[in-house]
């Protein structure tokens, strides 16, 4: 058989409508089928004036953002260029083949003048989530929380050292009350306020290591509102962290954006309060990773009548020394028993909320296990116990229940999958904008698009849009196609 050379026919006149050119199973049809986007008009109508020249429809502007994020373009300039040649994108925008695509700078100017200080992004996120709830796709009996970082648009080598005050934690008032209650029971004086000093005890010497109320951080010269992120083997960089909760089906139900140098256990409380405002009566289990296994977080969850599900957190004890669990706590006598069956008696409750239990130096001096217990110069072992330690112990007991075995392994299928999809497909790996507020709005739209795409695919499987456009214009074109060839090509 002889080879046939391909003939390019770029001069064809196609007798089809834009409706017919878009494949029936294209993702834009699924997106358009799952929700009525005209709700955006009601959200932003107060941001526009009554008079003046006609503006670009706000639905078109926000649909450009949906295209930008859902299809992973991550550039408004490139998004506008793609929309000029992509029939499916034009169809989704509601534009004809002859209509002009808005200039790439149009969105940035509308953001600066209208949307920057508004709550329209949060409302869009909430409306999409509400639609998913109406379809019955959201199940909040068990929620999964975690945070992920997004590289900031900042040079990691351009920074300065600044001294900042340690911010007051949300639970400090309750902790102060609990500390004074415990000190009063032991005949100690009350303290007026908590110290925000980070107090630690050396495993080698048993001496107190005490930090001041302020700390030194690296502040970016490019984006000062970002934070220096460094965790494990990951690259040290300036970043933003997104603290997120999802349901068991992988729908994001709440989120918040913070600088990358804030620990997960600190940012937890704000986002946790938000999900309880919306779903408190529905949430039964809260799945978190080991970074959240702190007494204040365990207490917060248990006090709300929910079950904390967290993994085992390995103790950071120096190699060759006894682990903390080898010192048995006697609740009835409020003391610890060391591996040599000696008693460590209560000494005091410090301003950080830790009760200190100290051994008898005279007995420790000749102890055969002293080299595995402490290397303090005064031969005294100090064991600490948080005033809310019982909440953490209750959390640890949950690891042996069927509830934990059934729900905790789903973290990799839910919140971890959310972060993976958003980073790989929806531009969450790094950001092009600077400033906390802009990155918060950007992340809100990313998670909104994640929910939108998931909802659209699920909805299409059960309720595909099979309604054909029966307008007069389409009917005429179908008639012409029936009596004429599909294309008229000039020679």
- Given pLDDT bands bounded at 50, 70 and 90, which one contains residue 8? confident
Q: Is the pLDDT of residue 104 over 60?
A: yes
Residue 127 lies in a domain: no
pLDDT digits (tens, 9 = 90+) for 165-181: 777 788 888 999 999 99
Last residue within a domain, chosen from 386, 402, 419? 386
| Shared-domain flag, residues 300 and 189 | yes
Looking at the structure, do residues 291 and 430 belong to the same domain, yes or no?
yes
Query: d(Cα 183, Cα 177) in Å, to the nearest integer?
Result: 10
Final residue of a domain: which of 369, 386, 403? 386
Pick the more confident residue, 380 or 51: 380
Q: State the helix-helix crossing angle for 58-70 and 76-85, rounded to 10 degrees.
A: 100
Q: What share of the chain is helix, strand, coil (3-state, %, to 5)?
A: 40, 20, 40
Number of domain units in the chain: 3
Residue 146 is predicted with a pLDDT of 95
Look at residue 475 and tell me whether its pLDDT is greater than 70: no
Q: Which of these ranges, 193-197, 284-288, 324-328, 459-463, has the smallest mean pLDDT?
A: 193-197
Q: Is residue 422 part of a domain?
A: yes
Confirm whether 463 is domain-assigned.
no
Do 365 and 405 belong to one domain?
A: no
Q: Is residue 440 part of a domain?
A: no
Are both 58 and 207 inside the same structural domain?
no
Residue 44 and residue 29 share a domain: yes
In a domain, residue 130? The reply is: no
Asked if residue 145 and residue 40 are part of one domain, the reply reads no
Least confident of 63-67, 243-247, 257-261, 483-487: 483-487
Mean pLDDT, rounded, for 145-164: 92
Going by C-beta distance under 8 Å and a sequence separation of 6 or more, which residues neighbour residue 358? 344, 345, 347, 380, 381, 382
Model pTM score? 0.87
Q: Are residues 306 and 188 in the same domain?
A: yes
Please report whether residue 246 resides in a domain.
yes
Whether 396 and 382 map to the same domain: the answer is: no
Please tell me whether residues 253 and 174 are part of one structural domain. Answer: yes
22 in a domain, yes or no? yes
Q: Would you say 300 and 272 are in contact if contact means Cβ atoms under 8 Å apart? A: yes
Q: Residue 312 corresponds to which tokens in the numbers above?
A: 């085992």
Q: What single DSSP character describes residue 491?
A: -
User: Higher pLDDT residue, 1 or 388?
Assistant: 388
**Are residues 273 and 175 located together in one domain of the fold?**
yes
Strands (E), 350-464: 354-358, 382-386
Domain identity same for 86 and 160:
no
**Residue corresponding to tokens 């190699």:** 319
Q: How confident is the model at residue 476 (pLDDT cuts 50, 70, 90)?
A: low
Domain span holding position 371: 324-386
Q: Which of 347, 369, 386 is the last residue of a domain?
A: 386
CA distances from 35 to 18, 426, 467 (A): 21, 20, 15
* Same domain? 33 vs 177: no
pLDDT-derived band of residue 269, with 50, 70 and 90 as boundaries? very high
Q: Assess whether pLDDT exceeds 70 at residue 477.
A: no
Confidence of residue 6 (pLDDT cuts 50, 70, 90): confident
Angstrom distance (rounded) from CA 207 to CA 157? 36
Instruction: Please report whether residue 198 resides in a domain.
Output: yes
Average pLDDT over residues 375-398: 93
């Amino acid at each position: 058989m002889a080879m046939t050379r391909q003939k390019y026919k770029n001069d064809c006149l196609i007798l089809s409508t834009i409706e017919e050119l878009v494949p029936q199973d294209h993702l834009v049809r699924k997106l358009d089928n799952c929700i009525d986007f005209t709700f955006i008009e009601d959200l932003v109508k107060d941001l526009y004036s009554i008079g003046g020249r006609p503006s670009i429809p706000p639905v078109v502007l926000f649909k450009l953002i949906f295209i930008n994020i859902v299809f992973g373009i991550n550039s408004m300039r490139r998004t506008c260029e793609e929309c000029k040649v992509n029939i499916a994108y034009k169809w989704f925008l509601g534009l004809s083949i002859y209509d002009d695509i808005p200039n790439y700078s149009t969105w940035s100017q509308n953001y600066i003048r209208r949307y920057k200080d508004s709550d329209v992004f949060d409302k869009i996120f909430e409306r999409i989530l509400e639609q998913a709830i109406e379809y019955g796709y959201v199940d909040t009996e068990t929620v999964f929380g975690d945070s992920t970082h997004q590289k900031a648009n900042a040079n990691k080598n351009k920074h300065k050292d600044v001294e900042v005050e340690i911010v007051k934690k949300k639970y400090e008032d309750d902790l102060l009350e609990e500390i004074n209650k415990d000190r009063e029971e032991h005949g100690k004086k009350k303290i007026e306020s908590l110290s925000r000093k980070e107090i630690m005890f050396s495993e080698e010497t048993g001496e107190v290591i005490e930090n001041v109320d302020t700390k030194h951080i690296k502040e970016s010269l490019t984006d000062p509102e970002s934070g220096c992120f460094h965790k494990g083997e990951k690259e040290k960089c300036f970043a933003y962290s997104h603290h997120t909760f999802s349901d068991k089906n992988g729908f994001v139900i709440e989120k918040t954006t913070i600088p990358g140098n804030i620990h997960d256990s600190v940012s937890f409380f704000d986002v946790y309060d938000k999900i309880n405002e919306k779903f408190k009566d529905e949430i039964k289990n809260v799945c978190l990773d080991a970074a959240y296994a702190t007494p204040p977080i365990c207490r917060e969850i248990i006090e709300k009548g929910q079950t904390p599900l967290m993994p085992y957190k390995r103790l950071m004890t120096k190699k060759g020394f006894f682990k903390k669990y080898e010192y048995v706590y006697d609740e009835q006598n409020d003391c610890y028993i060391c591996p040599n069956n000696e008693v460590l008696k209560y000494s005091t409750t410090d301003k950080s909320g830790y009760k200190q239990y100290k051994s008898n130096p005279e007995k420790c001096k000749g102890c055969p296990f002293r080299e595995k217990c402490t290397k303090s110069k005064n031969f005294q072992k100090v064991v600490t116990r948080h005033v809310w330690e019982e909440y953490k112990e209750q959390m640890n007991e949950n690891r042996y229940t069927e509830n934990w075995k059934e729900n905790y392994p789903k973290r990799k299928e839910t919140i971890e999958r959310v972060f993976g999809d958003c980073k790989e497909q929806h531009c969450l790996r790094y950001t092009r904008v600077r400033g906390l507020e802009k990155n918060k709005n950007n992340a809100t739209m990313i998670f909104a698009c994640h929910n939108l795409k998931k909802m659209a695919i699920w909805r299409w499987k059960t309720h595909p849009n099979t309604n054909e456009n029966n307008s007069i214009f389409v009917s005429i074109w179908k008639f012409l196609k029936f009596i004429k060839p599909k294309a008229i090509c000039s020679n």
